[in-house]
């Protein structure tokens, strides 16, 4: 039974009872993670984001090792997961306790967030029966074959001008709709190789990795896209020129690391990569980029070059050329900087099943210095979308022949 379970329990004896029962019901030991306090639980939810199908949470939990267990801690953890969205919520969350008084006192509070609370004691078999039924239901749901719903999803950080470039593609877009969580999307259709393909496009509520991560996760959960593509504008590094197309083969958060007492920043980058197949297809899009450049009145003076390389991401707009040295120290081949790519790749990679194939394609609208202007933002937004659409077209043209 390939069900991943997070057991949040500070009592070693109670945790042992739960683990033995999970194993008896067919859950493999390697799929069981134990956290003894809220700190460890949050760490597990972050490091294994989106992978847990079941969380068994003690009603009274210490905030950290050595502290007194308190129901407020468990309730706060549930609120962070289910209301604030700070961590990916396990598919099923069940409360546990061995204390009948705790059950009567806390049941109404916990059932605001959970649907079930188990009274876990060695002599009681009711909880074992309930757990068996729950695991069986989760397993049956997992066995049902899920399928991709949307062929390709285009996402951008900004409504204007980036999303406008996507809306200008040869796709018939429907009126805008809402997911109900602040994310607006449009559905579209286009014929590729004689097959009518379904598309979705959306933009973040604001710039930055956090907003991009939230948007991509919401779209993935709703539409299960086969491909997910980010387009828009970025800052160029190294030899990149205005109007060049950047295909981000990988990305990381340049601000991730440590500021020690010495004052010298120690980077700890966690690289996330694009889908290799889509990167390979993007390498052959120079002709499409040239063709677009030749038809535009407002354009950079030189033809665009499609550059494949690392794109560094951060939560702040970069106007200081001195930061370029920091970026290239973290990766000597870094060619561009933006505010979303790492979050976009992180979310795509952490999707628990039916992972989308992800690619970030942006065009250089400035050189990541203080000489920023809006002269080519429209042009670059449209160019990045055109190149990305060519990658999608080539992918599905090949897919149709297989």
Structural domains in the chain, sorted by start:
5-143 (3.40.50.2300), 150-401 (3.40.50.1580)
290 pLDDT band, cuts 50/70/90, is very high
* N-term to C-term CA, the chain: 33
pTM score of the predicted model:
0.64
Q: What is residue 14's three-state secondary structure?
A: helix
Q: What is residue 315's three-state secondary structure?
A: coil
Q: What is residue 111's three-state secondary structure?
A: coil
CA dist., res. 166 & res. 230, Å (int): 10
- pLDDT of 330 strictly over 50: yes
Q: What is the mean pLDDT of residues 6-10?
A: 93
The whole-chain average pLDDT of the chain stands at: 86
* Cβ(318)–Cβ(328) below 8 Å: no
- pLDDT of 402 strictly over 50: no
CA dist., res. 201 & res. 124, Å (int): 52
Q: Which of 153, 150, 154 is nearest to 197 (CA)?
A: 150
CA dist., res. 200 & res. 188, Å (int): 6
Q: For residue 164, give both structure tokens.
A: 């406008």
Q: What is the mean pLDDT of residues 267-293?
A: 91
> How far from 333 is each of 35, 249, 253, 281, 322, CA to CA, in Å?
40, 11, 15, 20, 16
Q: Which residues contact 190 (CB under 8 A, 6 or more apart)?
A: 169, 170, 171, 172, 196, 197, 199
Q: Which of 281, 271, 282 is nearest to 349 (CA)?
A: 271
> How far from 56 is each of 41, 90, 94, 247, 376, CA to CA, in Å?
11, 10, 5, 42, 53
CA dist., res. 243 & res. 146, Å (int): 40
CA dist., res. 349 & res. 356, Å (int): 8
Q: Which of 124, 43, 53, 33 is nearest to 94 (CA)?
A: 53
**pLDDT (tens digit, 9 = 90+) per residue, 206-251?**
888 888 889 998 899 888 899 999 999 998 887 888 999 999 999 9
> How far from 232 is each of 58, 166, 394, CA to CA, in Å?
45, 9, 20
CA dist., res. 97 & res. 117, Å (int): 8
Cα four-point dihedral sign 104, 110, 116, 118: negative
Q: What is the mean pLDDT of residues 105-121?
A: 80
> How far from 208 is each of 61, 259, 366, CA to CA, in Å?
34, 22, 17
- pLDDT of 400 strictly over 60: no
- pLDDT of 132 strictly over 80: yes
CA dist., res. 354 & res. 145, Å (int): 10
To the nearest 10°, the Cα dihedral for 317, 322, 323, 328?
Answer: 140
The pLDDT assigned to 369 comes to 59
CA dist., res. 335 & res. 367, Å (int): 10
SS3 content of the chain, % helix, strand, coil (to 5): 40, 25, 35
Task: Give, as one character, the DSSP assignment of residue 70.
Answer: B
Q: What is the mean pLDDT of residues 135-139?
A: 87
Q: Which residues contact 276 (CB under 8 A, 6 or more apart)?
A: none
């Amino acid at each position: 039974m390939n069900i991943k379970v997070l057991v949040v329990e500070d009592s070693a004896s109670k945790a042992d009872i739960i683990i033995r029962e999970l194993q008896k019901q067919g859950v493999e030991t390697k799929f069981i993670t134990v956290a003894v306090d809220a700190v460890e639980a949050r760490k597990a939810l972050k490091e294994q984001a989106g992978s847990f199908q079941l969380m068994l949470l003690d009603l009274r939990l210490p905030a950290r090792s050595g502290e007194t267990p308190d129901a407020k801690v468990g309730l706060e953890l549930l609120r962070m997961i289910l209301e604030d969205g700070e961590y990916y919520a396990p598919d099923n969350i069940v409360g546990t306790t061995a204390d009948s008084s705790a059950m009567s006192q806390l049941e109404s509070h916990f059932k605001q967030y959970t649907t079930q609370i188990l009274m876990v004691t060695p002599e009681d078999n009711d909880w074992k029966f309930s757990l068996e039924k729950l695991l069986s239901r989760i397993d049956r749901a997992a066995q049902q074959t899920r399928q991709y719903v949307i062929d390709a999803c285009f996402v951008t950080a900004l409504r204007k001008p980036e999303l406008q470039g996507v809306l200008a593609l040869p796709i018939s877009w429907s009126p805008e709709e809402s997911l109900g969580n602040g994310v607006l999307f449009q559905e579209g259709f286009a014929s590729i190789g004689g097959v009518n393909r379904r598309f979705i496009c959306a933009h973040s509520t604001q710039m930055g990795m956090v907003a991009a991560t939230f948007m991509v996760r919401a779209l993935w959960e709703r539409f299960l896209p086969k491909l997910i593509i980010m387009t828009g504008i970025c800052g160029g590094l190294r030899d990149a020129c205005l109007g060049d197309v950047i295909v981000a083969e990988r990305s990381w958060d340049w601000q991730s690391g440590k500021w020690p007492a010495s004052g010298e920043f120690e980077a700890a980058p966690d690289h996330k990569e694009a889908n290799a197949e889509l990167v390979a297809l993007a390498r052959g899009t120079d002709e499409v980029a040239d063709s677009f450049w030749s038809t535009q009145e407002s354009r950079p003076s030189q033809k665009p070059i499609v550059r494949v390389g690392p794109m560094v991401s951060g939560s702040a707009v970069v106007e200081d050329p001195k930061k370029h040295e920091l970026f290239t120290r973290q990766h000597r081949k870094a060619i561009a900087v933006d505010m979303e790519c790492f979050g976009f790749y992180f979310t795509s990679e952490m999707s628990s099943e039916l992972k989308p194939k992800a690619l970030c394609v942006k065009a250089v609208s400035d050189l990541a210095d203080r000489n920023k202007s809006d002269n080519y933002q429209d042009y670059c937004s449209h160019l990045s979308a055109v190149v990305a659409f060519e990658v999608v077209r080539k992918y599905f043209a090949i897919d149709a022949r297989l």
